Structure 1
Amino acid sequence: MLSALEVVTTVLVGVMVGVEFSVLFVMNPILNALPEDSRQLGHAHGGRMLGAVMPVWYIGSLVLAGIWAIAGRHDHGTGLVVTAGALLLLSVIMSILLLVPINNRNKTWTPENRPADWKEQLHRWERWHYARVAVIIAAFALLVTALT
């Protein structure tokens, strides 16, 4: 049973890393190359779509890592799992405090009601997203290492 939990947790976090990595290095460059109105509408739509699923994904990953750490507390890789869980917790805190407030504003914007500093706000979100992606990549690497 523990092996299944380890695999499910690692795959879930790995797919989350892949999605967030592709947002950062694929989707954002595509959206940022569009004309202003299309760019802003694309970011707003992405914010609504991913903003609905990512909280469950982040918190679910954190919970599964916590269960793994408790269930496997006598295994040799438990310290790695606990550290990965701490990094996942950091990513949730970063999301709540830094990224979600910007995303909540962005997802309601249209070309008619967006603020004058909308580009700066999206750029700030992107900078924080770089840091969050680094954190979840590190967590994923630790989980993979704990499996070996």
Structure 2
Amino acid sequence: MLNALQVLTTVCVGVMVGVEFSVSFVMNPIFNALPEDSGQLGRAHGGRMLGAVMPFWYIGSLVLVAVWAVAGWQRPGAGLVVTAGALLIVSVLMSVLLLVPINNRSKTWTPENRPADWKEQSNRWDRYHYVRVAVIIAAFALLVTALTRA
């Protein structure tokens, strides 16, 4: 049963990493290259869509890691799982304190109502997101390492 939990957790976090990585390095560059207001509209739509799903994914991943840490406490790699959990907590805090406030504003923007500094706010979100992606990649790497030690 612990093996199934370990694999499920690793896959869940890994897919989340893939989605967030693709937002930074695939989708946003595509949106930024679109003509006129299309990119801003695409980012707003992405913010609405992913903004509805990601809170459950981040918290669900954190819960799975916590269950793995408790269930596998006496097993090799437990410290790695706990450290991965701490990194996921950092990613959730970053999301709530830094990224969500910008996302909540930007997902309602249209070319008619966006603020004058919308590009600056989008760039700030991107910078925070790069750091968050690095944090969750580190958490994923720790989980994979712990899985190989199990």
Q: TM-score, with normalisation over the residues of structure 2?
A: 0.98
RMSD after superposition:
0.5
2:51 match: 51
Superposed, 1:5-16 pairs within 5 Å as: 5-16=5-16
Are 1:144 and 2:144 counterparts?
yes
Unaligned runs of 5+ in 1: none
In the aligned structure 1, how far is the partner of 2:49 from the partner of 2:132? 19
Question: Once the two structures are superposed, what CA deviation does each residue of 1:107-148 show, in whole Å capped at 9, x if it has no partner?
Answer: 011110000000000000000000000000000000000011
How far apart, in 1, do the equivalents of 2:18 and 2:33 lie? 22
SS in 2 for 1:36: coil
Q: 1:80 aligned to 2:83?
A: no
Instruction: Give the CA deviation at 1:17.
Output: 0.3
Q: How many residues align?
A: 148
Aligned to 1:115: 115
Cα distance in 2 for residues equivalent to 1:147 and 1:86: 17
Paired residue secondary structure (1:112): coil
Shift of 1:36: 3.4
Tell me by how many angstroms 1:5 deviates. 0.4
Distance 1:102 1:63 in 2: 25
Flag structure 2 segments of 5+ consecutive residues without an equivalent: none
Q: In 1, distance between residues paired with 2:118 and 2:40?
A: 8
Q: Within 5 Å, which residues of 2 pair with 1:9-48?
A: 9-48=9-48
Report the secondary structure of 2:37's partner residue. Answer: helix
User: Which residue does the alignment assign to 2:93?
Assistant: 93
Match in the other structure for 1:128 = 128
Q: Percent identity?
A: 81
Structure 1 residue 15: Cα displacement: 0.2
Q: Distance in 2 between matches of 1:124 and 1:64?
A: 30
